[in-house]
Amino acid sequence: MTAQDSRTADFSLTGEELAEFHRQGYAGPFALYEPADIKGIWRRERVRLMDRSAAVYGDGAAKSGITNIANYDRHLDNAFLASHICRPEIVDRVSSILGPNLLCWRTEFFPKYPGDEGTDWHQADTFANASGSPQIVWPQDADFGGTITVWCAFTDATTEMGCLQFMPGTHLTMFYDETKRMHYDPKKVNSVQKDGVRRGFFGYDYRELQIDPDWTPDESRAVSMEMAAGQFIVFWSTLMHASHPHLGKTSDMRMGFAARYVPGSVRIYPGLDAVEEYGGQISLDRYGAVVVRGANEYPGNRIATHTTRGDRFAGGSAIGHADPPAQDRSGRTPP
């Protein structure tokens, strides 16, 4: 498909796909880039991303090994990533779920190098799990929360290389209490076995948040989500998800890029001037959410209309009023 075709096509989820999404908590994978194309793009952008002179967070913000919060939100300075989060193949599908006013709240890289552990089973609603403070807050009359996460494979993601795992249908019940605090210990990275599998959570133990300390995730329900380079998958952050370890049978890394979307009515980083997690802290002085469709509905949200290098985001308007309300997870329109 040409770039012009992409701009004029409608990639919204069909009624059948949307119903299946509400049942399972995820949809896809879908094709976005040709495998050869994204591999070339990623080789180029990986070098460009080493230039952090325009990044919104400082170099020394985090020193946590596997993950680094200083590399959050590189779409705010990198032209390719800025274009990626606004791609209609992504935005049309997410808007099918969340409605016409859509913000990209945050992006993150998820590398997995040969020998790296898998990621713990987890869910995220307010994303207070590591910092202790809610990072997104839905309107009080909403009976749902979390983000729609779009996880794109910039490299092949096979089971042996540490692909994602989902537990279908678990997005409607939270098994973890995000008001509890996890304790960060970088010595836990790549050093803990759980039920015979090396799994961790970037220096945390996600089991500390369990509502029932005796509960164990039912691995028999797990589905492995292998993806070719250039494919992406759409899922609720409240869906139970994890990843396999990278078994080291190839020297190639697995790289995933996650973009997180919320409706324009969601309060982003309410009352926060900084985020502290994974052994580091980032200031929000230069942060801004990106309107990728429609308008921002909450006046207190910081909004970025351009990257720090001057590229305009191809989205909606920065300020607006409530459009028709988004659907909830069951497909109903909230009251």
Please give the Cα distance from 123 to 177 (Å, whole number).
10
Structure tokens at 250: 């190839």
Mean per-residue pLDDT, 78-102: 96
Please give the Cα distance from 165 to 223 (Å, whole number).
5
Extended strands (E) in 98-219? 102-112, 118-122, 136-137, 148-153, 164-166, 193-194, 197-200
Q: What confidence tier does 335 reach under pLDDT thresholds 50, 70, 90?
A: very low
Torsion of CA 125, 130, 132, 138, to 10 degrees: -20
Q: Where are the domains of the chain?
A: 24-293
Please give the Cα distance from 157 to 112 (Å, whole number).
10
Give pLDDT tens digits for 29-67: 999 999 999 999 999 999 999 999 999 997 666 555 555
Mean pLDDT of the chain, nearest integer: 86
Please give the Cα distance from 226 to 297 (Å, whole number).
36
Sheet holding 164-166, edge to edge: 193-194, 197-200, 118-122, 241-243, 164-166, 223-225
Please give the Cα distance from 58 to 235 (Å, whole number).
30
Structure tokens at 175: 């098994």
Residue matched to tokens 């802290």: 281
Q: Which fold has domain 24-293?
A: Jelly Rolls (2.60.120)
At 265 the pLDDT is: 95
Give pLDDT tens digits for 176-220: 888 887 777 767 676 677 777 777 677 677 788 889 988 888 889
Cα maximum dimension of the chain: 54
DSSP designation for 227: B
At 219 the pLDDT is: 87
List beta partners, residue 108: 258
Q: DSSP alpha helices (H): ranges in the chain?
A: 3-8, 15-24, 35-48, 79-84, 88-98
Give pLDDT tens digits for 221-258: 999 999 999 999 999 999 999 999 999 999 999 999 99
Strand 280-283 relative to strand 193-194, pairing: unpaired
Q: What confidence tier does 5 reach under pLDDT thresholds 50, 70, 90?
A: low
Indicate the helix (H) or strand (E) that contains 236. strand 231-236
Q: What residues have CB less than 8 Å from 8, skipping those under 6 apart?
A: none
> Which among 174, 146, 152, 178 is positioned nearest to 33, based on CA atoms?
152
At 330 the pLDDT is: 32
Please give the Cα distance from 87 to 100 (Å, whole number).
15
**Nearest-5° angle of CA 211, CA 198, CA 216?**
25
Identity (one letter) of the amino acid at 236? Answer: W
Please give the Cα distance from 49 to 96 (Å, whole number).
31
Length of the chain: 335
136 CA to centre of own chain: 13
Please give the Cα distance from 261 to 183 (Å, whole number).
27
pTM assigned to the model: 0.89
206 CA to centre of own chain: 17
